[in-house]
Each structure stands twice: as structure tokens, then as C-alpha cells.
Structure 1
């Protein structure tokens, strides 16, 4: 038994970094340049781009919780994850053959339906592993940021040298490789102790969880929607496709060191204060971009993303795990991801597209800063609940 545990710990130690690196390498090749592809190759308008890009997060709202319930029910997260990875890879490849608006809508729905399972299930597996083996989630998740950072530079360079369609081929191949690596991840899962729907109802009885969903909607929405508009922002300031890659390299690459330090900072300052600080930094960044500063200063301030994203992701995810009942943690993570990665991103992306059509790119970032500021008020609400020692859930004190 002890030998089996040590083998699982050793396998996870090497498998998780490689897996996260290649998964986010795939995301990094497609997401930052997809809006540029839709604008320059497909010839879509700002409103059409906003519609296409917002389809992904709004589809996630409905599909991601279903993936979480399937995972909780089957207790085979690695199998479900592998299926999602190969399905996303195939759809991403088919995406490259489509150029009509109506078919781009269809492909966006299919891609989002498959892709929405990848991050929450991966995170659920990783968090179960680190808690069981005394590891640090931030030390694993930072490899995703490194992969994303490298990918945007490689994707931008290949697109400049060959064609923008290269992003789909790179995306598909990296996810296929990730699917093979997924089988090296730990396959154990936690047993179900209650019905998933009952667990979801229990989650909404936790004030801190509800407030965190609101904060996630308003803070994560702009952070992730920025991946869609940052490339257009760089282009309008005079940057090239390679320049977009450099900007994302600086932004995503700076996340890794903060993720590595996240566990220590959480232990020292607490999750909610850390979320407040990181959100304030994001708010200031979006407001700065509203004034459309010189490209040089955009490159410099891109590293601020490391501080905000690198701290927000581990702290928020750990907080969700801490306040959720054990038997529905996968569902809680999926629901949390659906609100931030789904509803919040859809809202910010959709409204951003119309603002881009009717104004300029700076207006999009002013909107992002306002959303983030309001989201910080929800974090204050969580602090007040904790200060009053409001119970996380029935029968348990905060």
C-alpha cells in the first residue's frame, strides 16, 4: 500500500507539470490570436467578433457544470478529461477549415462544449493530489503559465512567418499530446456521499460561496476577456503579430513566480486579503489601458498580470475547495469556473465587442476596470461574513 502511494506521488510529480505545460501551451497558441484571425482572415466586424468570442463562455455556463456532475457520478476524472482533450483537439482542427460566420458560430459552440471540461477537471485532480501528498498547487499550476507564455511567442512568430491558420494546427497537436499525458495522472477519486444536485443546493446556502461567484463574475470576466482583446489592442497601438506574442509572453510568463509563491502568501496574509490586493492591481491596469498609452509602457505593465492572475487563481480555487462539501468539490469547482470562465467572460466579451464597434479599444478597458472595482465590493462582503464568523455551511464555523 505504501509502495503504491509512493509510486502515485512520483508519477504525479512529473506528470502534472508536463500536462499543465502542454494544455496551456495549446490555449496560448489559439486564444490570444483568435480575435486577430477573425478580424484579419475571416473579415468579421467588431460586433461579430464579440459574438463569436462570447459564445465560448456562455456555452461554458451550461456545459461545464454537466461535466462536473459526470465526473462526480462516474468517479473517473482522468477518463472524462482524456475524452474532452481529444474531442477539443479534433474540433480545433476542423475550426481551421471554416470561414463563414454561421459556421464559425457552430464551431465556437462545439469547441467550447468540449474545452470547458479541461481546466476544472484538471484542477480538481491536481488539488486532490496536492492535498493527499502535501504538495503545493501553485508549484504545479505555474507550469501552465509557462506553457501559455512560450506558446503565444511561438504562435505569434509562426503566424508572422507563415499564416494565422497555424494557430489551429498547433492548438490541436498540443491537446492530442496532453490527452496522452493525462493517462499518467493519478486516477483515484473521492467517493460520493450525497446526490450532486443536493450538494449544489447546499453550496448556494453558503454566503461566502455566493459572494465569491459574484466576485468571480466581475473580476475573472475582464481578466479572461482580455485574452481576446489584448491582441487587437496591441495591433491598434502599432504592434505586430510577433509583438502580440511578446506582450503575452511578458504577461503570462510573469504569472509563474507568483503562483510558486502563492501558497506562502496565502498562509501569511490570508486568501481574501490576497484576492483583494490582486483585484486592485487588475483594476488599475485596465484603467491605465483606457488612456491607450505608448506600446512600450503596455509591454512593461503586462508583467502586472503575473501579480494579479498568479495570485487570484490559486487563492480563489483553494477558497472554493475549503468551503465546499467534500462530496461535491468537483461540482463546486465546475460551478465556480462556469461563472468566471463562462458567464463573466461572456458578459465582458460580448459587451466589449459592441464597445469596440461603437467607440475605441480604450472604452473596452474602462468597462473592465469598472467591473473589477464592483467585484472588489463582493470580496469586502466575504470579509464581513468571515469577521462575523458566519458559518461556511450548516454545522461548521468559518
Structure 2
């Protein structure tokens, strides 16, 4: 029996996420190891190069959004972004000194930063119109990321060359472009401008406080993706071991994402956020005390809780805290603060802390910042409870 056009599009969107995140998984987890072992950079320089990726995201995502709004051609822009990022990935291994490595990653990030927001915009519009679940799309990204780190880790360990991370990155993004054939061409239009939405959201204290907590909680989670490979090697692991660790960590996200809505419905949004953040805090604290490689491998699966539950719960809370007509703007700001600013700041500070106190000291710092973020979530909970009581009084 032939699949309907809607089901066919749904499968192609899942395929895109599989290939795109395979590319991300091939490159980013081992990028710090590549810069250290093959380019000879110190950890402060590595922190600067790595933090350029999320820092560019903060500035480039709104630009991609404005170009998309002006042209009404998000699918074409997505093709351009993926193709250009793929080409810069092929060029990057030829660069040698720190300034060119920094410039090269900036060029790559300018285009790579457009891939997720453009694809999310198109896919969210599709699932809302066709009664599908975004979680069943996004979990294919988690699977692609997990498989990529495992495969690329084994290839680099076997060949002795870390340049493979860029070749796999470029190939995967090129394959993702092929899956765009069946992608929807347009996303929904927004009714409120970004500037107007920002003015409204600045007045929402619980929303602003949750942004700060997201910065403190999720910034270290994303920075860990860059330094976890270095940590695995420091406890006696191998490049293949790095791949295995990421396979367990990223792979554990998929089932939690699939069942996240049921868990949130049962326990509540705030509880799930606090619980998942507490798991992250405990994990970073454990790493501070220099555990064995076996313990590190065993604890990677808790990332399913700290990421697979936190992401959907945080998005739901953002939508709950924001007024109805500015929810799209609220989600965009949340993404910029968590995925962009928090990622950039903690990636940079992580490199500096490693140079002074080692990779275990970095995880102690991450644990402390995450704990502060959890305290802020409790404050958000009190504010939201007070607001509900006022509305029902």
C-alpha cells in the first residue's frame, strides 16, 4: 500500500534530522580533541574556537529568521546553509594556525547555525498542521548524533587521523540536502514582530528568571559535548571509548524524548525540569571527584534524563510563561540564551578552567552553576504558583 503524501513528507523530515545530527555528532564531540592533538592549541585557545560556534548562533539565528521572513523561502535557505557548512567542513582540515582555525570555524558556524532553526520552523509547522508529534522527529536527531560519535570514534581510532570528523560532517550534511526534496516549502507566519514581542516578554519576570536558570543549567550540558571527549581520554579511555560514551549518552535521549509528554503529564513541568537538572548537577559533581572510566561509561546514560526530559519540559514551560501572541518569539529567545549564549559562555570558561584546574575542576564549576540554576527554578515555581492563586482568588 502506497504511503500518503503526508506520511512520505514525515519520513523525509525524519531522514533529514537523522543525517543533519549525524553530521553534528561526527564533528562537535571530537572537535576539542582534534584542535589539541592535531593542531596543538592550548585549552584557552580551544575554548575560544569552540565558543565561537554558539556565539555566532546568537547573532546569526535572528538574521536567518529575518531573511526567511523577507524571502518566504526557508527551504531554499536551508539548502544553502547545509551546503555551505558542508563545503567549509571540507576546507577546515587544511587550516593550521590559531587565527585561521578561528576564522574557519566562524565561517562554518555562520551557515551551520541556520540549519536547526530553519528545519525546526518547517517541521513544527508541518506537525501542527498534520497532527504529528515533533518528538518522533527530533528523536531521529538524537539517534543520528549517537551513531555518528560511535562510528567516527572507531574510524579515527583505527586510522589514527581525526580529520575524518570533518569528512563525515560534510558527507552527512550533503545527504541531508537530498532528503529536503520532500520538505514543506514554507512555515507559518508570525503575527507579532520580534521587537514587539521582546518588549512584552521583558515585563514577564518568571520568564526572565527561567531564562537565567536555563543559561546556568543547559549551558554546561551543551559545553560538555565539546569537552567530554577530553575527559574520557583523561580517565584512560580511547577515541573508540569516546564514541561508545557518546553512543550511550546521546542514544539514551531518544526513548526519554519519545515518552517525555507522558512523564510531564504525570509529574508536572516544573518537577521534571528540577529533576532533570538535578541529575545533571549530580553527574558533574561525580566527574569532579575523578571517577574511573568504568563509572564514567556507566553514568553516560543519565543524559537521557538530563537532556531528553529537560528539552521538551523547558519548551512547554516557556510557552506557558509567555503570553499567547508572543510564544514564537519566546521560544526564539529561549533558544538563543540556552543554545547560544549559555553554550558560548560555558564552552569558553570551560577551556579556561581546564588550563588552571584541569578537566575535573571544570566539572566542579559546572556542578556549582547548575545548582544555582535549580534554585532559580524553585523561585519560578513560587512566582507561578502565586500568579495562579491571584487569578483564582
Unaligned runs of 5+ residues in structure 2 are: none
What is the rounded CA distance, in whole Å, between the counterparts of 2:328 and 2:192 in structure 1?
Answer: 13
Q: 1:214 to 1:113 in 2, by over 3 A?
A: same
- Where does residue 315 of structure 1 map in the other structure? 313
- Where does residue 47 of structure 1 map in the other structure? 44
SS of the residue corresponding to residue 230 of structure 2 reads helix
What is the rounded CA distance, in whole Å, between the counterparts of 2:319 and 2:86 in structure 1?
Answer: 29
Q: Which moved more, 1:57-66 or 1:71-80?
A: 71-80
1:152-163 alignment, distance < 5 Å: 152-162=149-159, 163=161
- After TM superposition, the score normalised by the length of structure 1 is 0.91
Shift of 1:331: 4.2
1:344 aligns with 2:328: no
1:83-94 alignment, distance < 5 Å: 83-94=80-91
- Where does residue 59 of structure 1 map in the other structure? 56
RMSD of aligned residue pairs (Cα, Å): 2.1
SS of the residue corresponding to residue 308 of structure 2 reads helix
Q: Which moved more, 1:218-227 or 1:180-189?
A: 180-189
Q: Which moved more, 1:156-165 or 1:78-87?
A: 78-87
SS of the residue corresponding to residue 65 of structure 1 reads helix
What is the rounded CA distance, in whole Å, between the counterparts of 1:208 and 1:126 in structure 2?
Answer: 28
SS of the residue corresponding to residue 94 of structure 2 reads coil
Shift of 1:122: 2.2
Shift of 1:78: 2.2
1:215 aligns with 2:210: no
- Where does residue 168 of structure 1 map in the other structure? 166
Checking the alignment, whether the CA contact within 8 Å between 1:65 and 1:331 is kept in structure 2 is no
1:97-136 alignment, distance < 5 Å: 97-136=94-133
Residue from 285, 288, 292 that aligns with 1:287: 285
Residue from 9, 13, 16 that aligns with 1:16: 13
What is the rounded CA distance, in whole Å, between the counterparts of 1:185 and 1:215 in structure 2?
Answer: 35
Checking the alignment, whether the CA contact within 8 Å between 1:78 and 1:183 is kept in structure 2 is no
What is the rounded CA distance, in whole Å, between the counterparts of 1:158 and 1:110 in structure 2?
Answer: 26
What is the rounded CA distance, in whole Å, between the counterparts of 1:331 and 1:365 in structure 2?
Answer: 32
- After TM superposition, the score normalised by the length of structure 2 is 0.93
Shift of 1:268: 2.0
Q: 1:328 to 1:97 in 2, by over 3 A?
A: farther
Shift of 1:112: 1.6
Shift of 1:390: 6.3
Q: Deviations over 1:257-307 (max 9, x none)?
A: 101101111222222221111001000000000011000000000000011
1:144-159 alignment, distance < 5 Å: 144-159=141-156
Q: Which moved more, 1:124-133 or 1:170-179?
A: 124-133
Paired residues, number:
388
Q: Which moved more, 1:338-347 or 1:298-307?
A: 338-347
What is the rounded CA distance, in whole Å, between the counterparts of 2:152 and 2:110 in structure 1?
Answer: 24
SS of the residue corresponding to residue 302 of structure 1 reads helix
Q: Which moved more, 1:125-134 or 1:248-257?
A: 125-134
Q: 1:82 to 1:203 in 2, by over 3 A?
A: farther
SS of the residue corresponding to residue 96 of structure 1 reads helix
Shift of 1:134: 2.5
1:201 aligns with 2:190: no
Q: 1:74 to 1:390 in 2, by over 3 A?
A: farther
Q: 1:38 to 1:140 in 2, by over 3 A?
A: same
Shift of 1:7: 4.9
- Where does residue 375 of structure 1 map in the other structure? 373
Q: Which moved more, 1:315-324 or 1:269-278?
A: 315-324
What is the rounded CA distance, in whole Å, between the counterparts of 2:320 and 2:92 in structure 1?
Answer: 39
- Where does residue 73 of structure 2 map in the other structure? 76
Shift of 1:40: 0.4
Q: Which moved more, 1:371-380 or 1:60-69?
A: 60-69
